[in-house]
Amino acid sequence: MTKTEATTALAAFGAIPFSPAAIAVPGAQTGKFLPRVQFLSTGSCKLVSEGKAKVGSYALIDGGNVIDLGKEINVIPLCKLNKAVDIAEGVSHFAPSEDYDRCVAAVEDSGFDSGCMYGPYYLLFLADTEQFVELFLTNTSGRNEESNIDSFLPISAEAAAQHGIEARAPRPATLGSKEVTSKRGKKSYTYNVPLTNECTTTLNVENPPTQEDVISRCNKFVAQADVETESRSR
């Protein structure tokens, strides 16, 4: 998604049916980077072993602060990039690029031992704390939910016309969790993202973001890929 696409797609942001009722204290944005949401799928996750959050829950991580959000969160997906990380070099790469493809190939070939990870990288508005957050889905179960989460993203008039679909504003989504048991009896949790007709259509948000703020956040988010493109061209 380019800056222009993000801006155009969000032109109808006011169409989201926010409810006036408050369900959470507005969260303050701190520091240079946005807070991130992480799903804790197994008891071996660091935050679970440290007792900071429960397995099967979503954790809100803002610097050194961790909040256990529970097994279900309400969000508005705003835009997405396809991101890969070369862990050894500590460098992020975005599609389309040769470095992104290299990281994906490494993961597909060697999995966790590859020194890389990849997946869809989302900017969300988290209704439960009324703040913008990032979500990076780097495991197989997370990537399997990509198409479901994408169904809640906004679609610009230009993109809609190009693909023969209807334009739309971003829509509220419920991200949940589901317990699964392996053939050996080991229990873990996986993402569960109900489709539109199965989840909430309204959000109880006392202080919804303005259209201008949302567009600004989206432009900053997608600019990460623009920076990498510029650096590669030099």
CB-based contact 106:83 (threshold 8 Å): no
- What's the average model confidence in pLDDT over 120-133? 91
DSSP class of 149: H
Residues 163 and 140: their CA atoms lie apart, in Å, by 27
Per-residue pLDDT reduced to its tens digit, 153-167: 877 767 777 778 777
Predicted confidence band at 228 (pLDDT cuts at 50, 70, 90)?
Answer: low
Residues 82 and 227: their CA atoms lie apart, in Å, by 14
Per-residue pLDDT reduced to its tens digit, 16-49: 433 322 222 223 333 357 899 999 988 878 899 8
